[in-house]
Amino acid sequence: MSDIDEKQMILYAQMANLVSLILQWPDINLKEIAENFSKLACNAHTVCDGELRPLGTGLYPVISIINHSCLPNAVLVFEGRTAVVRAIQHIPIGSEVMISYIETAGNTMTRQKALIEQYFFNCACPRCVKMGQSDDVIESAILEGYRCKGEGCNGFMLRDSDDKGFICQKCGLLRDKEEVRQIANEIKTLSNKVENLAASDRQKAVHTYKEIEDLQMNLFHSHSINLMRTREAILKILMELCEWQEALAYCRLTVPAYEKYSGSLLRVHGLSQLQFSKACSITVTGVYGGVHPLLGLQYYTCGKLEWFLGETYDAVRSLTKAADILRITHGTNTQFMKELLFKLEEARAEACYKEAS
């Protein structure tokens, strides 16, 4: 309990009071209840459906003995209320099975902060031990850093030693700190506005998200996580609005980012900063470790849209990629997977028919 910050402590105390009010037991121990809430936060898992949409919270005693890694060798998925852990790579006998408690597509500082705040530990996984080393700095600069404004340059930027701004590590161009701050403020203002709009006026929300997207394309590296999240938000609303063609365009924009994050992290380990900066237009670090359910789900969305819009051959390609990943992370027995495999068969049959006619 001593590691919990004050805000969290107040929340647990309020929840303990609520329990006390409901139970009305004379000798209830508020401190013990608050402690139990804290233990629950560390050990419980968010129960999701096949498409990783959260449904609630569950406490699974066996699952809660599994430790975290930002480069996990297993994933936790749910089949109804049943929690299932599946290996996403070969796990040698005697090696520890590890899942990720958090979104792994953040930079090391972001991940460490999330783990300390909710789980109270300093992660020492193979990604986190590289904190501050050149490949970790590069990964951070690409995931959450700014882009170079040089024409055609896809370099990543680091803060310059005089603190005037950010220097491109590929072409050496300086980006002024004030300019960056101004765009970041505009993004913040629009982001605050769009949160309320998403529920009340979807058309306006899409318009505002596109303004954010434009600013982020100017500010962030093209493989930035922030840009990818904005595009995902646009995709989600376009699907709700049944704007299928534009939704597909946005889905296709997000897929390369997922793919880039999914390449093996090992690909860039061992490269010098210069070698990497030359290579960075074609290779980005692998924060999803190759097989990640989110990548599979993104292919699935793309495939469904393509098929619906009559782009059968593309649909077969996307659904095949989705099935290749999701049969590893989700198995093949759930209704969700049966539907995916059925759609793939149907798309294949349609492609054969089209080819023959």
Ligand X SMILES: C[S@@+](CC[C@H](N)C(=O)[O-])C[C@H]1O[C@@H](n2cnc3c(N)ncnc32)[C@H](O)[C@@H]1O
Q: Is 226 in the site for ligand X (CB under 6 A)?
A: no
Interface with ligand X (CB under 6 A), residue from 33, 71, 99, 123 = 123
Q: How far is the CB of 121 from ligand X (least distance, A)?
A: 4
* Euclidean distance between CA atoms 338 and 325, whole angstroms: 14
Q: How far is the CB of 65 from ligand X (least distance, A)?
A: 5
Is the Cβ of residue 43 or residue 226 nearer to ligand X in the bound state?
A: 43
Q: How far is the CB of 58 from ligand X (least distance, A)?
A: 12
* Euclidean distance between CA atoms 135 and 144, whole angstroms: 14
* Euclidean distance between CA atoms 107 and 187, whole angstroms: 20
First to last CA, the chain: 69
Is the Cβ of residue 136 or residue 232 nearer to ligand X in the bound state?
A: 136
Q: Is 37 in the site for ligand X (CB under 6 A)?
A: no
Q: How far is the CB of 79 from ligand X (least distance, A)?
A: 20
Q: Is 238 in the site for ligand X (CB under 6 A)?
A: no
H-only helix segments in 120-201: 134-144, 177-200
Contacts with 186 (C-beta within 8 Å, 6 or more apart), sequence order: 215
Q: How far is the CB of 136 from ligand X (least distance, A)?
A: 17
Q: Exposed (0-12), middle (13-18) or buried (19+): which is 171, by Cβ within 10 Å?
A: middle
Which span (65-73, 152-160, 188-196, 205-213) binds ligand X, by CB under 6 A? 65-73
Q: How far is the CB of 63 from ligand X (least distance, A)?
A: 8
Interface with ligand X (CB under 6 A), residue from 17, 36, 38, 43 = 43
Q: Is 65 in the site for ligand X (CB under 6 A)?
A: yes
Which span (67-75, 129-137, 197-205, 324-332) binds ligand X, by CB under 6 A? 67-75
Contacts with 124 (C-beta within 8 Å, 6 or more apart), sequence order: none
Is the Cβ of residue 98 or residue 215 nearer to ligand X in the bound state?
A: 98
User: How many residues can be counted in the chain?
Assistant: 357
Q: E strands within 109-149? A: none
Interface with ligand X (CB under 6 A), residue from 103, 121, 158, 244 = 121
Looking up tokens 């403020």 gives 185
What would the x/- binding string for ligand X be over residues 155 to 194, using CB under 6 A?
----------------------------------------
* Euclidean distance between CA atoms 169 and 141, whole angstroms: 10
The torsion of the CA quartet 124, 128, 134, 139, rounded to 10 degrees, works out to 170
Interface with ligand X (CB under 6 A), residue from 42, 59, 217, 266 = 42
